[in-house]
Structure 1
Amino acid sequence: MDVSSSLSIFSKFIVAGEVFIHFLGDDIHRNFVSHLSSSLLQAGVKPSLIAVEMLSEKFMPSITRFQIGIVVFTKAYIESSRCVEDLLRIIECHENHGLIVMPVFYDIDPSDLLDLKMDSSSYVLYPMKGELKKNSSPEQRSAKRKVKTTVKWTQMKGERLNYPIILYTSAGSRALNRVANLPTWDESKHRNDAELVEEIVKSVLSKLECALPVTKFPVELETQAKNVIGLFENQPKDFCTIGIWGMGGSGKTTLAKAIYNKIPFTFGDKSFIQDIRKVCQTDGRRGLVQLQEQLLSDVLKYVKIEKGEMEKTTIENSLSGRKLFIVLDDVNEIDQLKNLCGNGKWFRAGSVIIITTRQLDLLYQQKVDYVYEMDELDENDSVELFSWHAFRKATPRTELNNLARSAVAYCGGLPLALEVLGSYLSKRSENEWRSVLSKLEIIPNTQIQNILRISFDGLCSEMEKDIFLDVCCFFIGKERDYVTEILNGCGLRADIGIKVLIERGLVKIEKNNKLGMHHLLRDMGREIVRQTSTMQPGKRSRLWFLKDVRHVLTKNTGTEAILGLSLNTDWRL
């Protein structure tokens, strides 16, 4: 396929691709960009060609759909007000949505960008012409000094001014500064265009190959990933295992994906095995064989375990001596670890295994080197994450600010809850917001509860489930020894049972040895009890709500199903 025919493929606006090329559609359209786009297509990647003068207005609102943006800087590009306006949006997407930006300098030195950033006062924009020129005359310099450098582009549009405006506003200067700090490709440092294009294509392929979909709004994710990577990056000669532990919906898998994406392809062989618990529960031994095959396929590129038999020796022999980076996601049984990675002695020094799980005891059994516990987001980060999902910006809308903060308080810093509730409330009226939040006080959100309930359903015995439900309904904020004594007196082995709940992230020990619990877990447990008889409280196993207790006692509607109830001595029957 020749260059002209390959260009015709991209003449239509392609939204569904993974890569776009942003450039000024004149001086290099028929050579370098066409060469680059043809090479990407031959490598199996469909880029969207975005010529600033032709398609950028239609294209810019949709760039969050892409993983990689290649920005081709030329002399004409940096002298175009429209190009710099688009660049501001690209950098914003890079910072807020994780877009990978790849600056390519063609027929221009990267230092020219720094010169513009450092000496922006010597460049001015003529609004009526859209041109960028040196500011030379005293009259122009005088007029320029009257204009603040914080003017936004949206404020410039449509204005008819008789004097030039500075192009590089504070936002523009910051965008240029961000570009200058990114890894760049410089045409002058390559023998020819073919060599430059080959390097760019290889880099794109490596990024697409390892990039896992994470989240559109990575609030606090960068800090968390940096903290975990810091546990192993300075130990290149040691084999390292790290457990990421936390309750359902706390962001364990999201964090593991973000870490995985940051590991360069030069590290060694990589594999991300996702949803291990779900696969094994659905398909049993056959599912575990599929996971083994995926691991070997990721490392060896292709392998088949004959006759569906789990051969741990096949894994060991195939992976022995290799430097690997492996993520085992949502593990809930020690047997899964034994069949996928053994004790890690198979692997070469410098290998890293990350395990995400809700079960702390499992990590102790595996004797991991580090346990990274997922904490709830603080109030500021919670508001930001919720706002991105509800309003598509970092802060709440003014008229909904109080309701938004009530919703955030309900979520208790749990990322899953912030995402689900924020998305559900997006574009709804104020009255609908009030109705939803009022309902949540009585009946929890089903989508959130289904994720949290996985931990409850995973408890090994009915006794452990009974202890959890008792704590949910009666003993939050009570001293651990006091609760243990009462439950032991009821025939429950609370000494070991409470310990199991702590290791599963369902209960935590707070100040003064008192039992605590995330309130969404509390609501989940209470909803399990309520669902046994939604209309007749007297048929439920536990009663804690004042109205229900009063109804049962005054109407004499209790049954043998009731195991316990909470009496408040401050009210009369």
Structure 2
Amino acid sequence: MASSSSSSSSWTYDLFLSFRGEDTRAGFTSELYSALGRSGIHAFMDDEGVERGEEISASLLQAIERSRIALVILSPDYASSRWCLDELTGTYGEAMKRHELRLGGGGGCRVLRWRQALTEISNLSGFDSGTFRSEVELLDTIVKDVLEKVDAGQLFVAERPVGIESQVRKLTSKLSKKTLTKALIIGLWGMGGVGKTTVAKAFYNTIGRTFRRARSFLAQIRENSKHSNDLVNLQEQLISDIINTEVFKIPNIDRGIKILQERLPHIKAFIVLDDVDSVNQLNALCGSLEWFCPGSIIVITTRDLHLLSVIRADHKYKMETMNEIESLELFSWHAFKQKAPLENFIELSKNVVAYCGGLPLALEVLGSYLFDREIEEWEDVLSKLERIPNDEIQAKLKISFDGLKDDMEKNIFLDICCFFINKDRNYATHILNGCGFNAKIGITTLIERCLVNFNRKNNKLEMHDLLRDMGREIICGSPRKDLEDRSRLWFQEDVTEVLMQNTGTKVIEGISLKKPHEVCEIDAKAFKAMRKLRLLQLEYVNLEGDYRHLSNKLRWLCWPGFPLKSIPDSLYQKNLVAIDFKYSNLRLVWKKPQLLQCLTILILSHSPYLRQTPDFTNLPNLEKLVLKDCPSLKIVHQSIGDLKKIILVNLEDCKCLRVLPRSIYKLKSVKTLILSGCSLLDHLEEDIEQMESMTVLEADNTAITVVPKSLVRLEALKHGYVSFPGLKGRAQDVFPSLIWLSCQASRYVGGMPITVSIQWRNDETFGCPVWDKLRGIGIHAKHITVLIRGSFCIICRS
């Protein structure tokens, strides 16, 4: 039974197991319960399994009510148990209640209720154990189906979603059978920080279950559509989400619009467009109502009411600030980690809440800042708030910035504001560590203070617009500083003015200049006076003259579209931590190797002319090597095997790469090896068993037909992810199929009987007994002999 709750926190269990213990407890049910647990599914199973009386217990009824879905195991004697029948009636009755239907019988005849529940459940499609080759296959199928139903693409809403459910109910009330005979557009508008995105996520979780196969949440559109290519990426994501296909390339916006016009009218879809701020975005992603199938729902969040009129929204829902009661509760969760203030802080809390004006963002930020502080510190904050006008939200938020304990945390915050929003957290941490900051602790502190957000799904750093603008205003100063006196420059007109007029000074620590749609030529002399420059981003910029003018303090050099065929000797920067030259014109990285002992990240992705990797001899501390989509790359230098600290090697879509150097298999530190899309790569060596730290191996869309048998001896990989042509998933699920492929390959060369040795700790590594798992994928084992260190020798029939 599917849920209809707006908040995942309302569930205690993912699944309720209904079964007759005497029939199934010792065998199938226990195996299923264990398999569900290994997949992260929190299932309820009545462990006592004793019928303690005529009536079903109140605790069991509560377990049914607090479970997202129910799974009923109908065994031969299931209907002979009154307890089971009452449990089934409660289970099915709860399903009916959630769909606002009524289960017949009411308070009347108990037998009639049993009969109706049995009749109803018999009409549902289920899993017939007789149609599966083995119990193992049945278990796997059930677990996958439950995972799909339980997960259902839910989004994280908020740690403490105070007041969200009431907002969602108001939105849900806009839906009716009459309105859903056509496509429906709902607009959420209001000021920044008021909670539009949070409510949209909760609404998406609530309604999205009825659009299981066709729904999409496009987040932060304003931030993610600054260039035309960004809008193309959003179109690709939308098409992929709605049509349920792998992402495919769209050449331009107009082609994307045409595809959406052709496909969307035939699919009832649920789409959320978050933070829209221009008509161009609307035109590219949801043109008009004629694009959508009747019954589709489109939700748009925006600060601009006029945009909702342009798109002819059916409902324009203004997001109001929180009332006093909700504000105090949300503030308390962040300031005291409980629903209400501590007794000594009640009046102080009410005063702080009053100054926040019901704005969730301000309540969270100030609450987190005041957590575990003394009364004197609270009073100091209040005195500052009293001097700030009610409409100056940024000034109130700045109190949390001022309260950071040292300049390191403040500098990390300001660097993220200008350069690392939507960047990978580990990537930013490496670079900021290289700048002399303790970034791991610093970023954690900023997250705890609600000054920075962290998206666990994609590992990227995020920041609310108000906080970002507050940080940038701090850099600009009050009164506003001259451009050359600001520590960081990011606004394109400002950067261009400083560089063109050669007015840079030693105050400048970071610059970002992005010119993807025009040729921009800058004289390198413009950087001569910037002796403290740490962070430099030049996007599609031609830098003329002597590169020695660049500061030797550089830690991050991000230069998409680097124009030269090789990196010149004059660009030698011994302190660089990260080189990011995506979409470069490089043929050769360096003509002669450069000693870069600090370099930990080297990214040369999407460089169409790059023919070979650099010599890695002088890059002893390299941790991440990313050469994705380098279609001319043919040679990986053998010195790659000397990299003792390398964690990631990404060679995805290097379509001319035929062979890997044997030395690559010596990389004991590598955790992730990506070879997907290397269509000419036809084998991996058995030496791969030396890569003992590897947890992810992606090699789909390659020419590999024989999989190294030694893979199954990699302990770390057993709990990780593997993909090969035709195989993809968790290693413990894929390994049996890899063994089968190895057996098949041996058969073709005439080796019978086939012997495959697998080193394994115990049967449970597969998630179920090895014997049954192998039998389930077609390996009929005659004998299994336990060998030294827990390995198995499997002798297969022809």
Instruction: State the TM-score, normalizing by the size of structure 2.
Output: 0.38
Does 1:313 find its partner at 2:310?
A: no
1:275-294 pair list within 5 angstroms: 275-281=220-226, 284-294=227-237
CA distance in 1, matches of 2:233, 2:286: 14
Does 1:363 find its partner at 2:308?
A: yes
Q: 1:34 aligns with which of 31, 36, 47?
A: 31
Aligned residue number for residue 445 of structure 2: none
Instruction: Give the aligned residue type for 1:227.
Output: K
1:43-58 pair list within 5 angstroms: 46-47=39-40
The 1:77–1:531 alpha-carbon spacing in structure 2 relative to 1, beyond 3 Å, is farther
Instruction: Give the aligned residue type for 1:399.
Output: N
1:224-373 pair list within 5 angstroms: 224-234=167-177, 235-267=179-211, 269-281=214-226, 284-300=227-243, 301-308=245-252, 310-311=254-255, 312-373=257-318
Aligned residue number for residue 446 of structure 1: 398
Secondary structure of the residue aligned to 1:307 is coil
Secondary structure of the residue aligned to 1:317 is helix
Q: 2:360 aligns with which of 385, 404, 415?
A: 415
Aligned residue number for residue 507 of structure 1: none
**Residues 248-304 of structure 1: per-residue CA shift (max 9 Å, x gap):** 1111111111111112544351111111000112xx111101000000010122242
Higher helix share: 1
Contact 2:13–2:44 under 8 Å retained in 1: no
**Residues 507-544 of structure 1: per-residue CA shift (max 9 Å, x gap):** xxxxxxxxxxxxx99x98xx899943289xxxxxxxxx
Secondary structure of the residue aligned to 2:267 is coil
Does 1:209 find its partner at 2:206?
A: no
Instruction: Give the aligned residue type for 1:226.
Output: R
Aligned residue number for residue 109 of structure 1: 84
CA distance in 1, matches of 2:241, 2:375: 49
CA distance in 2, matches of 1:342, 1:392: 45
**What's the % identity of the aligned pairs?**
35
**Residues 433-469 of structure 1: per-residue CA shift (max 9 Å, x gap):** 233333334452239999xxxxxxxxxxxxxxxxxxx
Secondary structure of the residue aligned to 1:290 is helix
Contact 2:16–2:64 under 8 Å retained in 1: no
1:156-235 pair list within 5 angstroms: 201-234=144-177, 235=179
Aligned residue number for residue 425 of structure 1: 370
Q: 1:390 aligns with which of 321, 335, 356?
A: 335
| Residues 198-207 or 400-409, more deviating | 198-207
The 1:77–1:424 alpha-carbon spacing in structure 2 relative to 1, beyond 3 Å, is farther
The 1:238–1:179 alpha-carbon spacing in structure 2 relative to 1, beyond 3 Å, is closer
CA distance in 2, matches of 1:36, 1:362: 51
CA distance in 2, matches of 1:250, 1:21: 35
Aligned residue number for residue 671 of structure 2: none
Contact 2:218–2:272 under 8 Å retained in 1: yes
CA distance in 2, matches of 1:187, 1:35: 23
1:441-520 pair list within 5 angstroms: 441-442=386-387, 443-446=395-398
CA distance in 2, matches of 1:77, 1:250: 52
The 1:265–1:354 alpha-carbon spacing in structure 2 relative to 1, beyond 3 Å, is same
Secondary structure of the residue aligned to 2:205 is helix
Alpha-carbon offset, residue 361 of structure 1: 1.1
Contact 2:189–2:318 under 8 Å retained in 1: yes
The 1:304–1:88 alpha-carbon spacing in structure 2 relative to 1, beyond 3 Å, is same
CA distance in 1, matches of 2:289, 2:61: 46
CA distance in 2, matches of 1:178, 1:349: 30
Contact 1:73–1:104 under 8 Å retained in 2: no
Contact 1:269–1:325 under 8 Å retained in 2: yes
Instruction: Give the aligned residue type for 2:40.
Output: P
Please give the root-mean-square deviation of Cα atoms over the aligned residues, in Å: 4.7
Alpha-carbon offset, residue 398 of structure 1: 1.1
CA distance in 1, matches of 2:36, 2:190: 44
Contact 1:72–1:105 under 8 Å retained in 2: no
Instruction: Give the aligned residue type for 1:258.
Output: A
Alpha-carbon offset, residue 85 of structure 1: 13
The 1:221–1:448 alpha-carbon spacing in structure 2 relative to 1, beyond 3 Å, is farther
Aligned residue number for residue 532 of structure 1: 478
The 1:77–1:369 alpha-carbon spacing in structure 2 relative to 1, beyond 3 Å, is farther
Give the number of the structure with larger relative contact order, counting CA–CA contacts within 8 Å between residues 6 or more apart: 1
CA distance in 2, matches of 1:243, 1:71: 39
Contact 1:237–1:349 under 8 Å retained in 2: yes
Instruction: Give the aligned residue type for 2:398.
Output: T
**Residues 19-43 of structure 1: per-residue CA shift (max 9 Å, x gap):** 877999x9947641422443676xx
Does 1:380 find its partner at 2:333?
A: no
Contact 1:384–1:394 under 8 Å retained in 2: yes
Aligned residue number for residue 64 of structure 1: none
Contact 1:72–1:104 under 8 Å retained in 2: no
Instruction: Give the aligned residue type for 1:296.
Output: I
Contact 1:232–1:352 under 8 Å retained in 2: no
Contact 2:168–2:202 under 8 Å retained in 1: yes
The 1:187–1:436 alpha-carbon spacing in structure 2 relative to 1, beyond 3 Å, is farther
CA distance in 2, matches of 1:101, 1:533: 56
Contact 1:72–1:103 under 8 Å retained in 2: no
Aligned residue number for residue 44 of structure 2: 71
CA distance in 2, matches of 1:374, 1:436: 28
Alpha-carbon offset, residue 90 of structure 1: 8.8
Alpha-carbon offset, residue 426 of structure 1: 2.2
The 1:21–1:320 alpha-carbon spacing in structure 2 relative to 1, beyond 3 Å, is closer
CA distance in 2, matches of 1:440, 1:322: 51
Q: Which runs of 5+ in 2 are unaligned?
A: 1-11, 104-116, 131-137, 388-394, 403-465, 482-798
The 1:324–1:447 alpha-carbon spacing in structure 2 relative to 1, beyond 3 Å, is farther
Alpha-carbon offset, residue 428 of structure 1: 2.6
Contact 1:286–1:308 under 8 Å retained in 2: yes
The 1:77–1:391 alpha-carbon spacing in structure 2 relative to 1, beyond 3 Å, is farther
